[in-house]
């Protein structure tokens, strides 16, 4: 679900409307110009052997004046079309600026190569939520996304909801979005950021206010402690192995800051920034050889014994 | 057939100033270099926006002595260069090489002073963005100062030792234009680099 | 004195035409042999080299594009690794922009401007040769990098911090940044040549308002080059310094700014596309005039439009940065300017259509390419105006919609006119006509292949496909349009091959063309085909905008130039009144040696800052050699006064 022409929120809807206005007006202009060109050429065709002699260049002043006025009229029409377009543009800009901003949800989005750190700030530190690559928002409420980057320029773009905003390191910015219907809206990094730019996607999941609050509340909790021995072994593998150097799971020893937070990993629909569905098979392939799936990314390959791998999968699968 | 003819054989074979193609070529070059300097100045102002203090905290404002001496010297050097320029229009060799020799001496002193200007900035090119833009601006102008002084040397030698063709007087003419650029382009930049920290 | 006597007996006033032809042929012809190639300073051979070199780069970059399209034809393709793909799109874009589009337009200008204004060479023959060698070395630098698998890989726009020292270690980006240094010097050299030649070497009577529109276009373009290229030279210099000697221009930790790169790059980058487009409009004006067989409608309006485009082109650059979040008031200015520039373009298009409509049109291959140009460029221009709107721009920026847009305006707006112009001017360059039959096939293959490749990309952008991605997931549904585009690219490749085949066979076996096979109007058609090495036996004079169509029987020719030295006539700027005779530089190895010297400096500077010093010293030595005097000395106070020029019967 990701198209500029299938808007799911007011911003994208205004832009799509502007697009259709431009499309029809400019298509008409295009057809008229091409028609004039073709008619002009065919109407004025000389005899084929006329190229053998120099033309007689006797320009008649009255005819030339008439031609001049016709050209001037076309230029005038062009200016009129441009003014209409400028007006439509101003109106659209105005509508976008006037969108309500009360009762907004605020999200901090930070770009990394090649994943998205998502934080829901809260004055109470214990109520802050940190996750990755997936944003949940309630329908019908404006959402302010504050943008920044930890390394190179990235760009946040969810076509169904709004245009894009670049995440420029050292130049924090912000963009307003809003979804007016529930759904799963796909986005993708839209500023070339290196080897795996193509695999830096994110999901925006818009849901009812109740579902959103429930999700937020669940995300606030620390990680669920594993109940069965296999998952406990998995936690041990996670905490003592390389995983904990980069990843964090709140409520455990793992507090690495340079990779996605995995506290509620199993609640996410995709892995590796939208590259693969979040299923055990894909997850296993990813953990064992991330370089094969996303060559150049920061996660090294991991040689785990099959039992350790199963344990880890069981543990991660329980992090809902 | 009555072919009419425009006979140009009595036209001169050498011309100076804006009549000469080389003059336009050099003006073109100076427009390019002037645009580079303009963009460097724009960069200076743009980077200023990234700092609360200017120069940045920990870097004092540039010392004025070396820079002020240098710009004064350069402005003074316009004098002998104008003499060389006038003599070139009159195609007189002796005043040219004497005036150029004075310019060369002033150019050498200017380069020595320029060395002190770099240290007067109280930072290196890799200290921070201010250091980077200031050193690059100084460096680019220094390149022109060296090139122009070397050209003065070559032309002075040519005028003194020969063989001198008439077109070499045109070369002295455009060399003067290059020198005027080196001096006059520096004037606003001097003001910005040395007084910018106090005004911005 | 002896050289005065030489002067007298070698003036073309005393020689017969046959004798003059022999003498001029002797001194203006290209030096022979392998080493002679490196001494050449004559504008037509040097331009031919530039055109051929540009087309070699065009073919290489086109090959990269074909390979990229194979990779994108199906989702999750493994034909190209991500690293190779990223190198390919970077080198494709950089080659097309820096090593093809600008050089080829300047080369056609350097070839035809002297012919169109009635002179024998450019104002600075050795400088022109130097410019060519700089272009060649710079292009080789970029491609050697690719061949060694350390090709530049940060896009032709090379944004920082991605291209900075932290995120692009190694020398890839430095190869790219120094390629810029070479090609920008070459471009600036060509621009100075065009401006000074056009200002000072025009035929007597060719006042500014009688110049062909192609010459105006090259003049405007050259001024744009002078003001735009320094910006990218500075930006790439800053980047090279950040990477090599730890300056902090773009390092926000020390007060630098990644956006500074974007401002400097786009301050160059936007004028760059007009630098490519404006010469193409000059070509179109020449073609329309010749094939509608009447003077262009609205000469003054067209010239003013060129100048307006030149100025306005410098006021648009922030429209490449709308997604960055700059203050809205500033953005509005750039929206307005971006819309405003559609007006002078529109003026030209309406004048062309009016010229065709009110003329007597001959349909030949060049005219087909003009029609293709109008169709494709207008579509691309309209999607461009759409993107002037900030809200809409934010949706399609950095997507395949933009890729579609700029290929429409660049291929439609520059390549189609260029191919049409080459079909048109081929007889003047080679003396033979290109095949009209093959030309027709060529045009339609080109037109269909182009649209099949690039039209679907509009929809792909709207469907959410960003740029510069080496692959995409199947569930996006982008597969079918991408596949169609790949098929189109293959057809486009065939069209390019057809053009090259037509050129090759026509060069040997094309029908012999006379001096003026099209019965066109500009001065180059008044000399034999191919043009003699000296261009004009006697320099022409003009008294109207249409010197051949309204030629007075007794239009004067210029006599009084020497036939034993490379002498041309210098006229004054506004009215082209004769001013003085000027001796041009002759053949020399110094331009080549200087380019090598500067090249050593620039390439060494990739690895150590001492490269600047080494290059400067070597360049100084070469320049001393270049300008070393070797003429006869004159007494200290000789002056030559020239009495006014007289017309003789």
Same domain, A235 and A203: no
Does C470 contact A at CB distance below 8 Å? yes
- Which residues of chain A are within 8 Å of residue C518 when distances are taken between CB atoms? 51
CB contact under 8 A, C196 and B158: no
* pLDDT averaged over every residue in chain C: 94
> C323: number of CA atoms within 13 Å, CB side?
26
Q: Return the HEC string of B30-42.
A: HHHHHHHHHHHHH
Q: Strands A134-138 and B5-7, how do they pair?
A: unpaired
pLDDT of residue C6: 65
Q: Are A113 and A194 in contact (CB under 8 A)?
A: yes
Tell whether the model's pLDDT for residue C642 goes beyond 60: no
The one-character DSSP state at A124 is S
Partners of B5 in the β-ladder = C557, C648
Q: Are A287 and A276 in contact (CB under 8 A)?
A: no
Q: What subunits make at least 3 CB pairs under 8 angstroms with B?
A: C
Mean pLDDT calculated for residue range B134-154: 97
d(CA B200, CA A11): 40
Of these ranges, A49-63, A106-120, C623-637, the one predicted with the greatest mean pLDDT is: A106-120
- Which residues of chain B are within 8 Å of residue C196 when distances are taken between CB atoms? 21, 24-25, 28
CB contact under 8 A, C468 and A197: yes
Q: Is C558 helix (H, G, I), strand (E, B) or coil?
A: strand
Tell whether the model's pLDDT for residue B162 goes beyond 90: no
Interface test with C, best of A38, A159, A276 (most C CBs within 10 A): A159
Q: Is B140 helix (H, G, I), strand (E, B) or coil?
A: helix
Q: What is the pLDDT of residues A142-160, one digit of tens each?
A: 999 999 999 999 999 999 9
pLDDT of residue C499: 98
- Which residues of chain C are within 8 Å of residue A46 when distances are taken between CB atoms? 293, 360-362
Given CA atoms B117, B119, B123, B129 in this order, what sign does their dihedral have? positive
Q: Is B1 helix (H, G, I), strand (E, B) or coil?
A: coil
CB contact under 8 A, B163 and C646: no
Mean pLDDT calculated for residue range B23-27: 97
pLDDT of residue C4: 61
Q: How far is C388 from chain B (nearest CA, A)?
A: 25
Tell whether the model's pLDDT for residue C641 goes beyond 60: no
Q: Are C439 and C499 in contact (CB under 8 A)?
A: no
Question: Whose CA is closest to C540, among A104, B75, B4?
Answer: B4
* Longest CA pairwise span in chain B (Å): 85
* pLDDT averaged over every residue in chain B: 95
Q: What subunits make at least 3 CB pairs under 8 angstroms with C?
A: A, B
Same domain, A114 and A210: yes
CB neighbours of residue C476 within 10 Å: 17
Question: Whose CA is closest to C646, among C586, C572, C576, C556?
Answer: C556
CATH code, domain with A175 = 2.60.40.420
Tell whether the model's pLDDT for residue C328 goes beyond 90: no
Q: Name the closest residue on chain B to residue C127, using Cα atoms.
A: B25
Question: Whose CA is closest to C131, among C22, C49, C252?
Answer: C49
- Which runs of consecutive H residues, i.e. helices, occur in C293-415? 299-312, 328-340, 342-357, 365-387, 390-396, 400-407
pLDDT of residue C3: 54
Assess if residue A176 is contained within a domain. yes
Question: Whose CA is closest to C440, among C360, C517, C364, C493?
Answer: C364
pLDDT of residue C284: 98
Q: What is the pLDDT of residues C69-86, one digit of tens each?
A: 999 999 999 999 999 999
Same domain, A152 and A170: yes
pLDDT of residue B81: 98
CA terminus-to-terminus distance, chain A: 24
CB neighbours of residue C23 within 10 Å: 17
d(CA A217, CA A205): 16
Interface of A with C in 127-166 (CB under 8 A): 147, 151-153, 155, 157, 159, 162-166
- Which residues of chain A are within 8 Å of residue C295 when distances are taken between CB atoms? 57, 59
Select from B15, B50, B136 the Cβ nearest to the Cβ of C579: B15
Same domain, A303 and A266: yes
Report the residue count for chain A: 320
Question: Whose CA is closest to C205, among C538, C545, C526?
Answer: C545
Q: What is the pLDDT of residues C271-310, one digit of tens each?
A: 999 999 999 999 999 999 999 999 999 999 999 999 999 9
- Which residues of chain C are within 8 Å of residue A191 when distances are taken between CB atoms? 159, 323, 398
Assess if residue A221 is contained within a domain. no
Q: Are C225 and C188 in contact (CB under 8 A)?
A: yes
Q: What are phi and psi of A225, to 5 degrees?
A: -70, 140
pLDDT of residue A98: 86
Of these ranges, A234-248, C7-21, C367-381, the one predicted with the greatest mean pLDDT is: C367-381
- H-run or E-run covering A277: strand A276-277
d(CA C361, CA A48): 9
Assess if residue A208 is contained within a domain. yes
* Longest CA pairwise span in chain C (Å): 88
Same domain, A164 and A121: yes
- H-run or E-run covering A317: helix A306-317
Tell whether the model's pLDDT for residue C644 goes beyond 80: no
Question: Of A27, A61, A96, which closes a domain?
Answer: A96
Q: Name the closest residue on chain B to residue C632, using Cα atoms.
A: B165
CB contact under 8 A, C247 and B166: no
Tell whether the model's pLDDT for residue C648 goes beyond 50: no
Q: What is the pLDDT of residues C615-626, one digit of tens each?
A: 999 999 999 999
Domains in chain A, number: 3
Q: Are C366 and C302 in contact (CB under 8 A)?
A: no
Select from C86, C292, C548 the Cβ nearest to the Cβ of A195: C86
pTM for the complete prediction?
Answer: 0.96
Same domain, A76 and A40: yes
Residue C637 pLDDT class (50, 70, 90 cuts)? very low
The one-character DSSP state at C500 is H
Q: Are A264 and A315 in contact (CB under 8 A)?
A: no
Task: Say what percent of chain C tops pLDDT 70.
Answer: 96
Q: What are phi and psi of A273, to 5 degrees?
A: 55, 55
Interface of C with A in 271-290 (CB under 8 A): none
The angle at the Cα of C324, spanning C321 to C329, to the nearest 5 degrees, equals 75
Assess if residue A2 is contained within a domain. no
Q: Name the closest residue on chain B to residue C582, using Cα atoms.
A: B13
Residue the block writes with tokens 């100075």? C192
Q: How far is A312 from chain C (nearest CA, A)?
A: 27
Residue C631 pLDDT class (50, 70, 90 cuts)? low
Does A26 contact C at CB distance below 8 Å? yes
Residue C162, C-beta contacts closer than 8 angstroms, at least 6 positions apart: A152, A153, A192, A193, A194, C154, C168
Reading the block at residue B143, the tokens are: 């390149």
Q: Name the closest residue on chain A to residue C470, using Cα atoms.
A: A198
The angle at the Cα of C525, spanning C519 to C526, to the nearest 5 degrees, equals 105
Q: What are phi and psi of C528, to 5 degrees?
A: -60, 165
Structural domain for A181, as ranges: 105-216
ipTM here: 0.97
- Which residues of chain B are within 8 Å of residue C230 when distances are taken between CB atoms? 32-33, 35-36, 39
Same domain, A212 and A235: no
Mean pLDDT calculated for residue range B26-46: 98
- Which residues of chain C are within 8 Å of residue B51 when distances are taken between CB atoms? 255
- Which residues of chain C are within 8 Å of residue B33 when distances are taken between CB atoms? 230
d(CA C556, CA B4): 4
Report the residue count for chain B: 200
Mean pLDDT calculated for residue range A99-111: 92
Tell whether the model's pLDDT for residue C10 goes beyond 80: no
- Which residues of chain C are within 8 Å of residue A194 when distances are taken between CB atoms? 86, 162, 167
CA of A292: how far to CAs of A217, A285, B31, in Å? Answer: 36, 9, 53
Interface test with B, best of C7, C118, C229, C230 (most B CBs within 10 A): C230
Same domain, A134 and A56: no
Q: Name the closest residue on chain C to residue A6, using Cα atoms.
A: C463
Q: What is the pLDDT of residues B122-139, one digit of tens each?
A: 999 999 999 999 999 999
Helix axes C258-292, C213-245, angle to 10 degrees: 160
CB contact under 8 A, C257 and A171: yes
Select from C247, C558, C638 the Cβ nearest to the Cβ of B8: C558
Tell whether the model's pLDDT for residue C539 goes beyond 70: yes
Residue C288, C-beta contacts closer than 8 angstroms, at least 6 positions apart: C296, C352, C355, C356, C370
Assess if residue A5 is contained within a domain. no
Question: Of A96, A124, A149, which closes a domain?
Answer: A96
CB contact under 8 A, C392 and A19: yes
Interface of C with A in 74-93 (CB under 8 A): 81-83, 86
Q: What is the pLDDT of residues C479-525, one digit of tens each?
A: 999 999 999 999 999 999 999 999 999 999 999 999 999 999 999 99
d(CA C496, CA A206): 49
Same domain, A171 and A271: no
Residue C635 pLDDT class (50, 70, 90 cuts)? very low
CB contact under 8 A, C556 and B5: yes
- Which residues of chain A are within 8 Å of residue C393 when distances are taken between CB atoms? 163
- Which residues of chain B are within 8 Å of residue C237 when distances are taken between CB atoms? 136
Question: Whose CA is closest to A165, among C591, C393, C73?
Answer: C393
Q: What are phi and psi of C581, to 5 degrees?
A: -95, 145
**Residues C78-86: contacts with CB under 8 Å, at least 24 apart:** C80/C470, C81/A295, C81/C470, C82/A195, C82/A196, C82/A198, C82/A295, C82/A296, C82/C470, C82/C471, C83/A195, C83/A295, C83/A296, C83/C153, C85/C470, C86/A194, C86/A195, C86/C153, C86/C154, C86/C468, C86/C470
The one-character DSSP state at C41 is -
Does C162 contact A at CB distance below 8 Å? yes
Q: Strands A129-132 and A134-138, how do they pair?
A: unpaired
Q: What is the pLDDT of residues C118-136, one digit of tens each?
A: 999 999 999 999 999 999 9
The angle at the Cα of C132, spanning C128 to C134, to the nearest 5 degrees, equals 115
Same domain, A24 and A89: yes
pLDDT of residue C12: 83
Assess if residue A256 is contained within a domain. yes
- Per-residue b/e over A285-301, b at no fewer than 16 CB within 10 Å? ebbeebeebbebbebee
pLDDT of residue C7: 67
Q: How far is A232 from chain C (nearest CA, A)?
A: 35
Same domain, A170 and A205: yes
Q: What is the pLDDT of residues C33-74, one digit of tens each?
A: 999 999 999 999 999 999 999 999 999 999 999 999 999 999
Same domain, A186 and A285: no
Question: Of A185, A216, A247, which closes a domain?
Answer: A216
Q: Is A26 helix (H, G, I), strand (E, B) or coil?
A: helix
CB contact under 8 A, C260 and B46: yes
CB contact under 8 A, C245 and B125: yes
Tell whether the model's pLDDT for residue C235 goes beyond 90: yes
d(CA C572, CA C117): 13
Q: What is the pLDDT of residues B52-108, one digit of tens each?
A: 999 999 999 999 999 999 999 999 999 999 999 999 999 999 999 999 999 999 999
CB neighbours of residue A144 within 10 Å: 14
Instruction: Please report the number of interchain residue pairs, chain B to chain C, with beta-carbon separation below 8 angstroms.
Output: 219
Question: Whose CA is closest to C260, among C316, C310, C326?
Answer: C326
Residue C244, C-beta contacts closer than 8 angstroms, at least 6 positions apart: C174, C605, C606, C608, C609
Assess if residue A224 is contained within a domain. no
d(CA C406, CA C393): 14
- Which residues of chain A are within 8 Å of residue C472 when distances are taken between CB atoms? 198
**Percent of chain B that is helix, strand, coil (3-state, to 5):** 75, 0, 25
Assess if residue A4 is contained within a domain. no
pLDDT of residue C645: 41
- Which residues of chain A are within 8 Å of residue C467 when distances are taken between CB atoms? 190, 192
CB contact under 8 A, A92 and C546: no
């Amino acid at each position: 679900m990701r198209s500029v022409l299938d808007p799911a929120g007011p911003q994208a809807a205004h832009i799509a409307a502007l697009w259709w206005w431009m499309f029809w007006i400019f298509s008409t202009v295009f057809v008229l110009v091409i028609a004039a060109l073709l008619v002009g050429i065919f109407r004025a065709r000389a005899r084929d052997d006329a190229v053998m002699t120099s033309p007689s260049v006797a320009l008649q002043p009255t005819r030339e004046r008439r031609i001049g006025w016709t050209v001037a009229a076309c230029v005038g029409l062009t200016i009129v079309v441009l003014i209409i377009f400028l007006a439509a543009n101003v109106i659209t800009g105005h509508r976008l600026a006037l969108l309500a901003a009360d009762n907004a949800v605020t999200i901090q989005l930070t770009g990394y190569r090649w994943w998205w750190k998502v934080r829901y700030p809260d004055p109470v530190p214990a109520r802050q939520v940190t996750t990755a690559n997936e944003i949940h928002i309630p329908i019908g409420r404006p959402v302010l996304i504050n943008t920044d980057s930890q390394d190179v320029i990235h760009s946040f773009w969810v076509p169904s909801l709004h245009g894009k905003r670049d995440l420029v390191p050292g130049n924090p910015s912000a963009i307003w979005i809003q979804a007016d219907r529930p759904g799963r809206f796909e986005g993708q990094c839209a500023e070339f950021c290196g080897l795996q730019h193509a695999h830096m996607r994110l999901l925006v999941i818009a849901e009812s206010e109740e579902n959103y609050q429930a999700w937020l509340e669940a995300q606030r909790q620390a990680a669920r402690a594993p109940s069965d021995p296999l998952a406990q072994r998995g936690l041990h593998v996670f905490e003592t192995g390389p995983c904990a150097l980069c990843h964090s799971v709140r409520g455990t020893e793992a507090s690495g800051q340079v990779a996605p937070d995995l506290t509620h990993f199993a609640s996410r629909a995709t892995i590796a920034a939208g590259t693969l569905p979040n299923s055990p098979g894909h997850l296993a392939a990813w953990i064992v050889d991330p370089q094969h799936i996303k060559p150049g990314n920061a996660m090294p390959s991991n040689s785990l014994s099959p039992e350790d791998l199963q344990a880890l999968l069981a543990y991660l699968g329980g992090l809902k | 057939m009555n072919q009419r003819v425009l006979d140009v054989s009595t036209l001169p074979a050498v011309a100076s100033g804006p009549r000469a193609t080389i003059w336009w070529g050099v003006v073109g070059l100076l427009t390019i270099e002037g645009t580079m300097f303009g963009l460097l100045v724009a960069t200076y102002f743009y980077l200023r926006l990234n700092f609360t203090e200017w120069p940045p905290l920990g870097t004092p404002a540039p010392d004025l002595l070396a820079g002020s001496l240098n710009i004064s010297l350069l402005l003074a050097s316009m004098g002998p260069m104008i003499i060389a320029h006038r003599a070139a229009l009159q195609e007189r060799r002796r005043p040219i090489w004497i005036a150029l020799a004075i310019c060369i001496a002033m150019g050498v002193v200017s380069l020595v002073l320029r060395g002190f200007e770099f240290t007067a900035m109280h930072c290196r090119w890799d200290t921070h963005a201010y250091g980077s833009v200031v050193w690059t601006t100084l460096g680019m102008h220094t390149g022109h100062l060296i090139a122009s002084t070397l050209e003065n040397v070559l032309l002075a030698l040519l005028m003194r030792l020969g063989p001198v063709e008439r077109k070499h007087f045109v070369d002295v003419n455009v060399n003067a234009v290059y020198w005027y650029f080196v001096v006059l382009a520096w004037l606003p930049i001097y003001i910005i680099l040395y007084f910018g920290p106090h005004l911005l | 004195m002896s050289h005065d006597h030489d002067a007298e007996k070698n003036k073309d006033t005393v020689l017969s035409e046959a004798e003059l032809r022999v003498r001029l042929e002797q001194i203006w012809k290209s030096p022979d042999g392998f080493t002679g190639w490196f001494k050449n300073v004559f504008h037509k051979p040097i331009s031919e080299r530039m055109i051929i070199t540009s087309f070699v780069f065009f073919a290489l970059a086109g090959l990269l594009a074909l390979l990229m399209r194979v990779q994108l034809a199906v989702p999750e393709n493994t034909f190209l690794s991500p690293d190779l793909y990223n190198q390919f799109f970077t080198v494709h874009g950089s080659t097309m922009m820096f090593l093809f589009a600008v050089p080829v337009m300047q080369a056609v200008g350097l070839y035809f401007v002297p012919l169109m204004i009635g002179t024998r060479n450019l104002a600075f023959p050795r400088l022109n040769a130097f410019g060519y060698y700089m272009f060649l070395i710079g292009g080789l630098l970029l491609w050697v990098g690719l061949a060694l698998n350390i090709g530049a890989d940060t896009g032709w726009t090379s944004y920082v911090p991605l291209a900075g020292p932290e995120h692009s270690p190694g020398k890839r980006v430095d190869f790219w940044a120094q390629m810029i240094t070479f090609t920008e010097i070459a471009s600036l050299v060509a621009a100075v040549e065009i401006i000074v030649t056009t200002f000072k070497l025009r035929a007597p009577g060719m006042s500014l308002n009688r110049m062909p529109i192609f010459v105006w276009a090259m003049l405007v373009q050259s001024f744009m080059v002078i003001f735009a290229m320094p910006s990218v030279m500075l930006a790439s210099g800053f980047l090279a310094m950040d990477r090599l000697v730890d300056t902090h221009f773009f390092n926000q930790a020390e007060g630098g700014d990644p956006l500074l790169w974007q401002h400097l790059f786009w301050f160059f980058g936007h004028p760059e596309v007009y630098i490519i487009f404006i010469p193409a409009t000059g070509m179109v004006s020449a073609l329309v005039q010749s094939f509608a067989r009447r003077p262009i409608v609205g000469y003054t309006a067209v010239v003013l439009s060129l100048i307006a485009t030149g100025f306005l082109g410098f006021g648009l650059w922030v429209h490449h940065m709308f997604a960055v979040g700059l203050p809205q008031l500033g953005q509005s200015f750039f929206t307005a300017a971006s819309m405003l520039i559609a007006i002078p373009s529109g003026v030209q298009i309406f004048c062309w259509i009016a010229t065709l409509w009110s003329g007597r049109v001959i349909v030949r291959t060049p005219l087909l390419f003009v029609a293709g140009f109008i169709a494709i460029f207008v579509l691309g221009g309209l999607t461009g105006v759409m993107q002037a709107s900030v809200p809409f721009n934010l949706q399609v920026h950095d997507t395949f919609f933009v890729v579609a847009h700029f290929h429409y305006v660049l291929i439609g707006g520059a390549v189609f006119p260029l191919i049409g112009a080459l079909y048109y001017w081929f007889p003047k360059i080679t003396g033979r006509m290109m095949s009209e039959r093959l030309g027709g096939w060529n045009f339609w293959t080109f037109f269909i292949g182009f649209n099949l490749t690039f039209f679907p990309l509009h929809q792909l952008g709207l469907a959410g496909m960003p740029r510069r991605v080496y692959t995409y997931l199947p569930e996006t549904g982008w597969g079918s349009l991408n596949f169609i585009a790949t098929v189109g690219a293959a057809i486009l490749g065939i069209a390019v091959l057809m053009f090259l085949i037509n050129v090759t066979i026509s060069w040997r076996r094309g029908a012999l063309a006379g001096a003026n096979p099209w019965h066109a109007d500009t001065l180059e058609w008044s000399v034999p085909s191919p043009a003699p090495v000296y261009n004009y036996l006697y320099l022409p004079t003009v008294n109207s905008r249409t010197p051949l169509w309204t030629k007075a029987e007794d239009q004067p020719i210029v006599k009084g130039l020497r036939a034993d030295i490379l002498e041309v006539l210098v006229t004054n700027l506004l009215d082209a009144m004769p001013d003085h005779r000027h001796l041009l530089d002759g053949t020399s190895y110094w331009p080549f040696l200087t380019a090598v010297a500067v090249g050593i400096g620039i390439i060494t500077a990739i690895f150590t800052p001492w490269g600047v010093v080494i290059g400067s010293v070597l360049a100084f030595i070469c320049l001393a050699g270049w300008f070393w005097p070797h003429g006869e000395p004159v007494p200290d106070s000789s002056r030559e006064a020239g009495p006014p020029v007289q017309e003789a019967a």
